[in-house]
Chain A
């Protein structure tokens, strides 16, 4: 039986086991939109702006570990996805974005709502396809999902012209994918792993520096285990938070520009850095010449291009983080007696770190004003860490990274690489769709929340009880902080007028709450977390608070400004 391209599309998604798509209709989607009528296996969440569809698919993917799917129309629908795609690309999030396209005949003619979206997104996708013939559609969909979720995950774009979605062809979903030019390396080279383990065995001041690769390869149990059996302290990048429980005694906190004193000093004085699924981003390393000056570096990553890109490493291991960690644990298990001595080797180091943590904890000055850090501490306290947290970008993001102790992987959803304001709210919607029973909280700022505030309508329409804690300081706080520290307090462009967020929430049919004083924090947050509706909590916090510690841009990690 012949089917239309649109039907083939729907059958392919079903065969792929896709249960949710985030979408927005338009002229070019209509064949597919129509084919999805009454298809109950695929939940269709219609957002209010295409950027949000992609962020929601991203949040869905990060929280669940499954591939996120977005579907948009041609032209502006497609170009609106670019920020979302670039966000997912920088953070290696598995995602397939289907953009619809004008008729094949019209491509290149500057037709109405035509954009060369394959060309536009080429530098920020893992791969992309323009489907030129309906006979290729099922195969391309299969390949797109395979590429998105294998190796180093990433977004894949599939552009489907309208005449392709109406053309007829037989449907057969391929069982397997074979791409001769794409075979990621999962198994780390055993010789390299042995070499690495020898270095670890003799290290006196080792540090595990781990990133998003630990989360995406689901390696947090193995990472925690390796840290424990060898007594190696662990620092996380922003993307790696939750890779080891945030309250674990071996956890140093985040490193980098707004990292903890203990983490940054441990890196600086270390004699062996074991990097796992991290990519030595400039926000993590500070000045690269002075990054870990005394250390040898082992780097485990599934993407060879990440290795020796910013920092020359001594032992590269290309492979899946979890796989390599399991291999390392096996070696420790097999040579128990040898590795026993390691605890003794590092005892002095562990003691030193304990002192750093004790003497320079993350802190802030308490006074009569309501501090944003306190609010996040209470969000953590009241939820006991049992929540999926998304953030926007800026101070809200850094304070969350510092003061919310992420206990589990896939609970910290944040735009780490691209730093996309407006990410957190739609990502929270995506996470809530994936986990309807979980408490999902977006920690936002008054600036960021307005970048995708229209998604309140989506949350209300689909009864998604997302909570948005707006740390409202009346400023674009992080930029204001830089102006305060480096531009002689000229607050040009950063003092913004905001609407009444409580009324905005109510106007959309959501719940709006406000906190002005410290004494109200617990009561109002509890009220918000208890209700089963989308809720904005407008928290009026101290306007001039800065994020500390801070390593100024371009400085080395040991040059921290403390509170």
Chain B
């Protein structure tokens, strides 16, 4: 099963390699990983999309928590959340398809951010379904290049990733 995990980590050099190394060393999957500074400049937020059964996920979460530089780990499995990804697509823009592309981009509320005589570079954000639908429509017109950020995620409503001190998987120990 696919899971989206958010992490708060110390914004220090070497932290990313610890996390990437943990996944590769223990044979866990990373589908995507996004990381950047958070509101607090001493902390980075990381969003990881991974796959695995319940036992593997339990290990992933525990092992991440065990890393000294990891402040907080949240699996969005049972949390209502929003998630967005951005893609940049360079598409063939021939005389006869230019209008079609623009129409599709507009429907998906994307933007053409660069133009050449034969290409459009389109930026579009959304969840996985939306991006998938867009790419399906645009594919027949000829995609030359595609870059995706991988999703970033946030809980809905008032819920936040708080920097409460790490308390080694309290829920788990409560059974």
Contacts and interface: CB of A to CB of B under 8 A. Distances in A.
B17 A303 contact: no
Interface stretch (A180-188, A227-235, A452-460): A180-188
A182 B173 contact: no
Interface string B12-38: 001001100100010000000000000
B65 A304 contact: yes
Contact of B17 (A119, A189, A312, A318): A119
Contacts of B21: 122-123
Given A180-B71, A309-B59, A304 B17 contact: no
Contact of A192 (B14, B68, B168, B174): B174
A503 to B, nearest CB: 44
B101 interface: no
Contact of B172 (A181, A184, A304, A319): A304
B66 A316 contact: no
A17 interface: no
A305 interface: yes
By CB atoms of chain B within 10 A, which of A119, A305, A307 has the most?
Answer: A305
A147 interface: yes
Nearest to B163: A180
B165 interface: yes
A233 to B, nearest CB: 26
Interface size range of chain B in the complex: 20 to 34
B157 interface: no
Nearest to A314: B175
Interface size range of chain A in the complex: 20 to 34
B175 A181 contact: no
A469 B72 CA distance: 50
Contacts of B174: 189, 191-192
Nearest to A152: B66
Interface in B110-165: 163, 165
B91 interface: no
A122 B21 CA distance: 8
B166 A183 contact: yes
A308 interface: yes
B109 interface: no
Contacts of A127: 68
Given A147-B68, A303-B66, A316 B175 contact: yes
B58 interface: yes
B161 to A, nearest CB: 13
A304 B173 contact: yes
A58 to B, nearest CB: 21
A284 B63 CA distance: 22
Contacts of A188: 173
Contacts of B175: 189, 191-192, 195, 315-316
Give the top 5 A-B pairs by smallest Cβ distance, nearest first: A318-B173, A181-B71, A305-B62, A127-B68, A185-B168
Interface of B: 9-10, 14, 17-18, 21, 25, 55, 58-59, 62-63, 65-66, 68-72, 163, 165-170, 172-175
Given A184-B168, A318-B173, 4 more contacts: A180-B71, A180-B165, A191-B175, A192-B174
29 contacts: A118-B14, A123-B21, A126-B68, A127-B68, A180-B163, A180-B165, A181-B10, A182-B68, A182-B166, A183-B165, A183-B166, A183-B167, A183-B168, A184-B168, A185-B168, A188-B173, A189-B173, A304-B62, A304-B168, A305-B59, A305-B62, A305-B66, A308-B55, A312-B55, A315-B175, A316-B173, A318-B168, A318-B169, A318-B172
Interface of A: 118-119, 122-123, 126-127, 130, 147, 179-185, 188-189, 191-192, 195, 303-305, 307-309, 312, 315-319
